[in-house]
Amino acid sequence: MATHFTPVMTVEDLNRFLETDFPEIHTDGKLFEVTVVGPGTVSMRLSPSQKHLRPGGTVSGPTMFALADVTAYCAVLAHIGPVALAVTTNLNINFLRKPEPGPLACDCRLLKLGKRLAVIEASISAGTEGDLVAHATATYSIPPR
């Protein structure tokens, strides 16, 4: 665990920030929810709706990509504060197995948090066993403070 990263925002702070600064992620209901904030970590839960599913009974790749991106963004903000202009500069995702329709959990861990860049690792899991369904790495650009 990355204990040398100290959060400055709580679960409640992050959920409130998403609701006020990015209300569009909740246009289909409250699908994204920050569940845990810890030293160097943030976890989110996504409860996909029918429109997030693909034929064959799986959560779509774009939905999992969005979950990794939003959770990585929250991981950065949790540790630098509510800086809305922090932006994704890169996100690579590997889809490992087909998740059944249902809630997904994304756990992010800060690998690096510098003045200008943050690097984050994201793991997306599904099901009651928490099977890993996707893994991503992301880089965020942090604006001058």
Nearest to 92 by CA among 114, 119, 116: 119
Q: What angle do CA 69, 71, 77 make, to 5 degrees?
A: 105
What whole-number distance in Å separates Cα of residue 97 and Cα of residue 18?
Answer: 29
What whole-number distance in Å separates Cα of residue 4 and Cα of residue 102?
Answer: 34
* Cβ-proximal residues to 77 (8 Å cutoff; 6+ apart), any chain: 9, 14, 17, 83, 86
Tell me what percent of the residues of the chain surpass a pLDDT of 90: 77
Predicted local distance difference test score (pLDDT) of residue 125 = 97
Cβ(99)–Cβ(76) under 8 Å? Answer: no
Main-chain phi, psi angles of 55, to 5 degrees: -55, 145
Predicted local distance difference test score (pLDDT) of residue 3 = 57
Nearest to 29 by CA among 49, 52, 53, 56: 49
pTM comes to 0.94
Average per-residue pLDDT for the chain: 93
Domains annotated for the chain, with CATH where assigned, are: 11-141 (3.10.129.10)
Predicted local distance difference test score (pLDDT) of residue 96 = 96
